[in-house]
């Protein structure tokens, strides 16, 4: 894509009155072209309530390779007010193997386990699965190992985690 095309797409990201879907398409196309001007829009879409839209943003962010992506995904994955929409950010953190992944996943899992009843089972399971996945490539801190054991003993997570935590 030439620079004039990228400039037109970047204009769409900031032009007033553009529908979200139009901004999303422009951001994804910019990311595919390697243009980091797409980052902010994609980071916002990563925590969108429409999970499919957030997953598209995650794929585009992964391809963009912007060094800010791990920090943005960690901030979204740990945002208590947007926790119900954190799944794409959690998955992205794990896929990136970002340095922020273990602390963010542990913080979110700790928060979920500490507030019964467990209302976001999918999010808790994604955090635990992510920690288990990361454990395969790096040692986890003792606190994260403790959280994994606690998650494996939680009735809502037990069936999914017991075999994996041993």
pLDDT of residue 47: 92
**CA-wise closest residue to 127 among 146, 137, 112:** 112
Mean per-residue pLDDT of the chain: 94
Among the ranges given (10-19, 74-83, 112-121, 137-146), the one the predictor scored with the smallest mean pLDDT:
112-121
30 within 8 A of 61, measured Cβ to Cβ = no
pLDDT of residue 42: 97
Angle at 97 between CA 96 and CA 101, to 5 degrees: 105
Contacts of 141 (CB under 8 A, 6+ apart): 102, 106
Residues in the chain, total? 166
Domain positions in the chain are 1-66, 69-166
Q: Tens of pLDDT along 56-106? A: 999 999 999 999 999 999 999 999 999 999 999 999 999 999 999 999 999
Q: Looking at residues 133-158, what average pLDDT do you find?
A: 94
pTM: 0.91
Q: Name the CATH code of domain 1-66 (choices 1.20.120.530, 1.10.1740.10, 1.25.10.10, 1.10.510.10).
A: 1.25.10.10
Q: Tens of pLDDT along 107-127? A: 999 999 998 888 899 999 999
User: Which contiguous run of DSSP H or E holds residue 31?
Assistant: helix 20-32
**CA-wise closest residue to 150 among 111, 99, 122:** 111
Question: Is residue 160 predicted with pLDDT exceeding 90?
Answer: no
């Amino acid at each position: 894509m030439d620079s004039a095309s990228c400039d037109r797409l970047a204009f769409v990201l900031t032009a007033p009155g553009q529908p979200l879907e139009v901004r999303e398409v422009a951001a994804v196309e910019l990311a595919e072209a390697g243009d980091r001007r797409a980052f902010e829009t994609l980071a916002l879409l990563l925590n969108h309530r429409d999970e499919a839209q957030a997953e598209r943003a995650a794929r585009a962010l992964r391809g963009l390779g912007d060094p800010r992506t791990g920090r943005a995904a960690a901030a979204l994955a740990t945002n208590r007010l947007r926790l119900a929409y954190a799944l794409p950010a959690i998955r992205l953190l794990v896929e990136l193997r970002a340095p922020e992944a273990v602390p963010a996943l542990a913080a979110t899992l700790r928060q979920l386990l500490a507030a019964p009843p467990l209302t976001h089972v999918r999010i808790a399971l994604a955090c635990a699965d992510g920690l288990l996945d990361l454990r395969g490539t790096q040692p986890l801190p003792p606190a994260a190992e403790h959280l994994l054991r606690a998650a494996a003993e939680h009735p809502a997570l037990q069936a999914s985690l017991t075999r994996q935590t041993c």
